[in-house]
Structure 1
Amino acid sequence: MTKRIAFFIVLAMMMTFSISAIAQTTSIIGSCKDENGKPIVGATVEVKNIETGKVYTLKTNSKGEYLSMGVTPGHYDLTLIGTNGAVLSFRNNVPVQLKEDNIFNMDMRSTKEQRKANDKPRSGSEKIKELNALLNQAATQKKEGRYHDAVATMEQAAALDQTHDLVYYSLGDAYLLDKRYPEAETAFKKAIELAPTGSKSVGAYHNGLAQALSKQGKAEVALAEYEKAAQLDPPNAGTYFFNEGAVLTNMGKADEANQAFDKAIAADPTRPDPYFQKGVNLLGKATLGKDGKMVPVPGTAEALNKYLQLAPDGRNAQTAKDLLTAMGAPIQTTYGSPKKGKK
């Protein structure tokens, strides 16, 4: 009897786990209508997960309806494509939740009205005012960590105006924060294309492009973009060279990375992070002496101590102190005389 009870307990647990696993997916449904309100038959509905990039490709039935089960919850972009390959309608950043009523209708009548609204003539001042409002709204959304919303806001701004580089830079930044790296790359390239000659912002655009490229594993192209950023925007070259050094470090090219960190230090000697990263890279070259103690290469302790002098309470301060202690090197800060590390 006891064995039988135990069997049913295990079975119940297995069923619970199975139900839990099934509950991690949901379904979406919707109807598609043309500008006259008639069903769109045989069209394609692409449902793209913004976070993962996964695409569900669906077809509308004789009633213009589409359905997909087993969809992972998240935020999605929906695109309605006609039988001739033309985009008929779209809905961006829609939330798919663990519920039964994820209904997203695609109605070309509303799309037509939206296009009319976007095409409605505006005075220059009205458009600038609206763009500034959208830029400020997106900036707030980014600050609050609402990256999906920031993307939607800046896509709206880009639909309103395709001539301002700042719009595409902010859009690229939103895509980057939302981990939509290919879209970020495209937006930053558009910002660079639209930037007026001599723009002081173009360095930041190249830096953004470099970050998007790096996130896609295009390291060599990203490095070239960081170099361009530094050349075009000398006042902020320290940031760009530091980012370049970080990419090189991740590539396992410590020597080249430290050359970039040296350039970052030369561009901005008051920036602490390049000293820390350089010290860490140099520490990787340390050897063990005959007595079993660590023998760091020249410049290691100096780089870590310089970081502590510039950022005694920085996020890497304790790590720098621990590394110096492990090396048996003195710890130097701006708060007094050197303290000998423990051996």
Structure 2
Amino acid sequence: MLKRTMIAAVAMLAVVFTAPVKAQAPAPASVHGHVNDPAGAAMAGAQVKFTTDKTAAAKDRKYPYSFDTDANGNYKGTGIAPGDYLVQVFKGSVAADYQTVTLKAGDDKTLDFDMTREEYMKALTPEEREKIEEFKKKNSAAVDANKVIAQLNATLKQTRADLAAAAHTKGDVSTDVTAMKQATDAKPDQSILWVTYGDTLLAQGDHLAAADKAAGKPALSDDDVLKAYGDAVTAYQKGIDLDSKSAKPVPEQIGAAYNQMGTALSRSGKVSDAAAAFENAVKAEPTKAGMYYKNEAVVLFNSQQSDGALAAADKAIAADPNSPDPYWIKGQILIAKSTFDQKTQKLTAPPGCVEAYDKFLELAPDDPKAPGVREVLTSLGQTIDTKYRKGRK
């Protein structure tokens, strides 16, 4: 009996150890590749779909795997079961191309679709081929235009860097003038190119004017200086006109262009025209009225047009009460209108003068003009608030 029990136990063990082991699934395959359309361009946003229903009607096929192409026409698919597949490229609901492929376990195959291949093109109708040729021409023109735009953007970037570097030294920017002239010739319908061209001409005018001053020449006696400033005004106006007539005008760019135009006009001695340009800048971009009115006040003040400068300074103060320079200009204009009493030997400033100077000191106590303002106020018998004397922390 003991022998029979042992035999039964051995038989049970045999059953346990000889049970069949489940077969492991084959390793999945992967594919990757590139898709070109019939015009030779990368086909972005297409779907590369895999099916084993090769003999089924197109409407009945099931596609268990689908992979999208990226912006460069590339795709990658993983986790595909080994097998024989019909692989089709779809653009939306339209089947554009196909291939067959056999994938084995662990495969990583490259599967490209080039619809410019001869057999593909021959299968198209004459009308389809004609449309493709027409598209190629348009696409070629677009590629050429994009190259021009890329070059212009590079020119703009370099020019702006050069202008920033030359701003403090009034350096020579003649090469940038030439570059921007070529840019406007290449694409004359772009406002930003004309405005930047104007900036280079303005900077070159400043460079030539500084050289004349160093050589002792009278201001505005150099035709080259006047031409640079005049050409700058023309370029700014061209840029403004293009921007204003565009589908989406940009007020900030128009306002900035008018402001730069005002600077060019003032430096060429056309003060009234400069004032009008600053006024136009305000109309184009009211949010920066304080800065534009201040620039107008500075130009008029430096040209001894006191009444206009005072009016512009008051507008600047109303638009931006925290800008110190308009207060200083107002104080300077009003102090010149002071009266002197022979009996009391005292100077009496007109209304608003002391208040303007006080506000300037409050806003800019450490400004280089501040010591002179304190002297004026002292001469008027005013007590100066000490917190304005050395500046506030």
Q: TM-score, normalised by structure 1?
A: 0.58
Q: Is the 8 A contact 1:137 1:153 kept in 2?
A: no
Q: Is the 8 A contact 1:264 1:274 kept in 2?
A: yes
> Distance between the aligned counterparts of 2:357 and 2:329, measured in 1?
8
Q: Is the 8 A contact 1:285 1:296 kept in 2?
A: yes
- The residue that corresponds to 2:106 in the other structure is none
C-alpha change, 1:150 and 1:324, in structure 2 (3 Å) is farther
- The residue that corresponds to 2:229 in the other structure is 181
- The residue that corresponds to 1:11 in the other structure is none
Deviation sequence 1:241-278 (CA, Å, 0-9, x none): 11222233244331231111111111111111111111
Tell me which of 377, 380, 388 is aligned to 1:324: 377
C-alpha change, 1:293 and 1:335, in structure 2 (3 Å) is closer
- The residue that corresponds to 2:159 in the other structure is 138
The 5-angstrom pairing of residues 11-50 of structure 1 reads none
Q: Is the 8 A contact 1:286 1:294 kept in 2?
A: yes
Does residue 310 (structure 1) correspond to residue 363 (structure 2)? The answer is yes
Mean CA deviation greater in 151-160 or 224-233: 151-160
- The residue that corresponds to 1:225 in the other structure is 277
- The residue that corresponds to 1:104 in the other structure is none
Q: TM-score, normalised by structure 2?
A: 0.51
Q: Report the AA paired with residue 296 of structure 1.
A: A
Mean CA deviation greater in 213-222 or 203-212: 213-222
C-alpha change, 1:135 and 1:325, in structure 2 (3 Å) is farther
Does residue 128 (structure 1) correspond to residue 128 (structure 2)? The answer is no
Q: Report the AA paired with residue 341 of structure 2.
A: G
> Distance between the aligned counterparts of 2:310 and 2:359, measured in 1?
15
1:335 CA displacement: 5.5
Tell me which of 177, 182, 185 is aligned to 1:156: 182
C-alpha change, 1:334 and 1:134, in structure 2 (3 Å) is farther
> Distance between the aligned counterparts of 2:157 and 2:318, measured in 1?
35
Q: Report the AA paired with residue 155 of structure 1.
A: K
Gaps of 5+ in 1: 1-119, 339-343
Q: Report the AA paired with residue 134 of structure 1.
A: T
- The residue that corresponds to 1:297 in the other structure is 350
Paired residue secondary structure (2:250): coil
Mean CA deviation greater in 321-330 or 158-167: 321-330
C-alpha change, 1:284 and 1:150, in structure 2 (3 Å) is farther
Gaps of 5+ in 2: 1-140, 206-227
Paired residue secondary structure (2:301): helix
C-alpha change, 1:313 and 1:153, in structure 2 (3 Å) is farther
Q: Is the 8 A contact 1:312 1:333 kept in 2?
A: no
Deviation sequence 1:278-313 (CA, Å, 0-9, x none): 111111111212233322112112111211111122
1:148 CA displacement: 2.7
> Distance between the aligned counterparts of 1:158 and 1:255, measured in 2?
40
Paired residue secondary structure (1:294): strand
Deviation sequence 1:142-165 (CA, Å, 0-9, x none): 122133343233223223321211
Q: Report the AA paired with residue 303 of structure 1.
A: A
Deviation above 6 Å: which 4+ runs of structure 1? none
Does residue 236 (structure 1) correspond to residue 288 (structure 2)? The answer is yes
Paired residue secondary structure (1:144): helix
Aligned length: 219
Deviation sequence 1:53-108 (CA, Å, 0-9, x none): xxxxxxxxxxxxxxxxxxxxxxxxxxxxxxxxxxxxxxxxxxxxxxxxxxxxxxxx
- The residue that corresponds to 1:211 in the other structure is 263
Tell me which of 183, 202, 216 is aligned to 2:254: 202
- The residue that corresponds to 2:129 in the other structure is none
> Distance between the aligned counterparts of 1:298 and 1:149, measured in 2?
52
Does residue 171 (structure 1) correspond to residue 197 (structure 2)? The answer is yes
Q: Report the AA paired with residue 263 of structure 2.
A: Q
Identical amino acids, percent of aligned pairs:
36
C-alpha change, 1:315 and 1:169, in structure 2 (3 Å) is farther
> Distance between the aligned counterparts of 1:211 and 1:287, measured in 2?
35
Between structure 1 and structure 2, the one with the greater Rg is 2
C-alpha change, 1:333 and 1:171, in structure 2 (3 Å) is farther
> Distance between the aligned counterparts of 1:156 and 1:304, measured in 2?
49
Q: Report the AA paired with residue 127 of structure 1.
A: V
- The residue that corresponds to 2:239 in the other structure is 191
C-alpha change, 1:222 and 1:329, in structure 2 (3 Å) is same
- The residue that corresponds to 1:114 in the other structure is none
Deviation sequence 1:313-335 (CA, Å, 0-9, x none): 22322332232233332323656
1:124 CA displacement: 4.2
> Distance between the aligned counterparts of 1:186 and 1:160, measured in 2?
18
C-alpha change, 1:149 and 1:333, in structure 2 (3 Å) is farther
Tell me which of 295, 313, 334 is aligned to 1:261: 313
Q: CA RMSD in A?
A: 2.5
Q: Is the 8 A contact 2:294 2:312 kept in 1?
A: yes
> Distance between the aligned counterparts of 1:333 and 1:193, measured in 2?
51
> Distance between the aligned counterparts of 2:202 and 2:331, measured in 1?
29
